[in-house]
Amino acid sequence: MDRTIEELSAEIERRIRLYQEGLDENAQAYEISELLEEVRQVSKARYLELLKALPEDLKAEVLSELSKNAQEEALEAIDAKELAEIIEEMDTDDAADIVQQIEEIDEEKAEEVLEEIDEEESKVLRELISYEEDEAGAYMQTELFKASENETVGESIRRLKELRKEGRVDNAYHVFIVDQHDRFLGMMPMEDLVLHGPNEIYRNVLDKEGALTVTVHPKDSIDKVIEVAGNYNMNVIPVVDDFGILLGRITADDIYDLMEKQATDQIYGMAGLQEESEESENIIEAGKSRAVWLGINLITAIAASIVIGFFDSTIQSIVALAVLMPIVASMGGNAGTQSLTVTVRQLALGDIDPTEAKRVIAKEVLLSLGNGLIYAVVMGVIAWVWFKMPMLGVVIGLSMVINLLVAGFFGATIPLVLRGLGIDPAVGSTVLLTTVTDVVGFFTFLGLASVILL
């Protein structure tokens, strides 16, 4: 049962009280964002009114949790001075995201917001928003807890307590150890510090036990970030510059978001769609995005129809061909999609090295050939019994073997070629593959029928 605005407002007020009492603050922020989304579906004016009424620190957390469309409406409605106050309550990675969104809506307003913010923080945000969307630096958070190699464990813990009281460090689950020049030496979980005495120096800890030294560069791609997180089971990744200077960290929430974004991009890309257009509330924008690929698909469908047209007299002579044609094309398309999906996913995960292209193609061809031989026999027998024409079974069997073989080859080759050309292999691969399997399937089936049956 849908709740009224009054009921939602009352629940939001209850959640605000729980937040102010310090009861599971992160959960309260998320729940309030969900409640506001419900209010927004009924009344955008009331949604903005309730959002603006939140305490500044809570407002910052809630704004980070809202959907992009809801965020944009809020950013348009809130003035620059108040936005600056909200942004100063955020972690730098979330603040940079908000500033970039404001910039997309109104560049002058974004500049005004940055001028209202503390000069040092404004400088950090300007640097973060200078990175491209697909670069690690764009997801970097500069707030972290670091300790000098010459500092004792006890001194660092006392300093951490002060930083937490001042609200300058949050989610400090790791200590980042640096030298006197701020060069990164290693990262340790905070829980490991209980195993060391308060007078023990970090340099000695590193010499005895070592520490995790895996890092990324701010210019590395987000694919590299995801690969590092997966390979080393890391939920926090240090970011260093060309000289090894520690710049910041990429935290678990952003890593999960990046993984989700990568998966979403692949799903949309396989269908020739764009995430930005599909998640937009502008129907015309979403329609344009879809129309482009539907137009391309129409052209490829016409190409397949032209092939069928070459054999119209053959089809008229043997009506059974028209009944069986879709089976050949469908089997080829499905086999090709299997190879395509596996190859695209392995490329995304970094499991395929360019030198392994031949191995990948050979594997997919063999799998498709094996399945092709099995189902060629099955379909051949079915066609023979169905239409009482033994040679028709031979024709459809041979065409299925050929089409599945081609499907496996191109299903693996198309993504590899696109990646080699610097094109996202998830985008458009399906359309290209469908064209190949349809054209080859119809041509081999009808071509063999013309030679063998007529």
Could you count the other beta carbons within 10 Å of the beta carbon of residue 72?
17
Round to whole Å and give the CA distance between 431 and 301.
Answer: 10
CB 387 within 8 A of CB 362: no
Which CATH entry fits the domain spanning 146-267: 3.90.1150.10, 3.40.50.720, 3.10.580.10, 3.20.20.10? Answer: 3.10.580.10
Give the 3-state secondary structure of 265-332. Answer: HHHHHHCCCCHHHHHCCCHHHHHHHHHHHHHHHHHHHHHHHHHHHHCHHHHHHCCHHHHHHHHHHHHH
- pLDDT value, residue 166: 78
- Residues contacting 340, CB < 8 A, separation 6+: 270, 411, 412, 414, 415, 429, 430, 433
Within 13 Å, how many C-alpha atoms sit on residue 356's CB side? Answer: 10
Q: Looking up tokens 């969900």, which residue turns up?
A: 34
Q: Tell me which amino acid residue 391 is.
A: M
Task: In whole angstroms, give the CA distance from residue 430 to residue 90.
Answer: 41
The ranges assigned to domains in the chain are 5-135, 146-267, 275-452
Amino acid at 325: M
Q: Contact 61/34 with Cβ under 8 angstroms?
A: no
Q: Which two tokens stand for residue 329?
A: 């094309």
Cβ(403)–Cβ(439) below 8 Å = no
Alpha helix positions (H), 311-389 = 312-317, 320-349, 357-387
Q: Looking at residue 3, what DSSP letter applies? A: P
SS3 183: strand
Output the CA angle 370-374-376, nearest 5 degrees. 110
User: What CATH code is assigned to 275-452?
Assistant: 1.10.357.20
For tokens 């031979």, the residue is 394
> Tokens 């990164």 correspond to what residue?
184
Under 8 Å between Cβ of 98 and 87 = yes
- Written as six digits, the tokens of 73 are 């409406």
Alpha-carbon distance 259 to 226, whole Å?
7
Q: Quick one: pLDDT at residue 282?
A: 60
Q: What pLDDT score does 285 carry? A: 66
Give the pLDDT of residue 252: 87
CATH code for the domain defined by 5-135: 1.25.60.10
Per-residue model confidence as pLDDT tens for the chain (454 residues): 578 889 899 999 999 998 888 877 778 889 999 999 999 988 999 999 999 999 888 998 999 889 888 999 999 999 999 999 999 988 899 999 999 999 988 999 999 999 999 888 999 999 999 999 889 999 999 999 999 999 999 999 999 888 888 777 777 889 999 999 999 999 999 888 888 888 999 999 898 888 899 999 999 998 899 889 988 989 899 999 999 999 999 998 888 888 887 777 767 666 666 655 555 556 676 667 667 767 877 887 888 888 888 888 888 888 889 889 889 888 988 888 888 888 887 877 667 776 777 888 889 889 988 998 999 999 999 999 999 999 999 999 999 999 999 999 999 998 888 888 877 777 667 878 888 899 999 999 999 999 898 7
Buried-exposed string 323-352: b where 16+ CB fall within 10 A, e elsewhere: ebbebbbebbbebbbbbbbbbbbebbeeeb
Are the C-beta atoms of residues 318 and 390 closer than 8 Å to each other? no
Q: How far apart are CA 234 and CA 184, in angstroms?
A: 17
Nearest to 365 by CA among 343, 385, 349: 343
- Nearest-angstrom CA–CA distance, 255 and 230: 10
Q: What gap in Å lies between CA 312 and CA 317, rounded to an integer?
A: 9
Nearest to 265 by CA among 253, 248, 283, 277: 277
The pTM score is 0.71
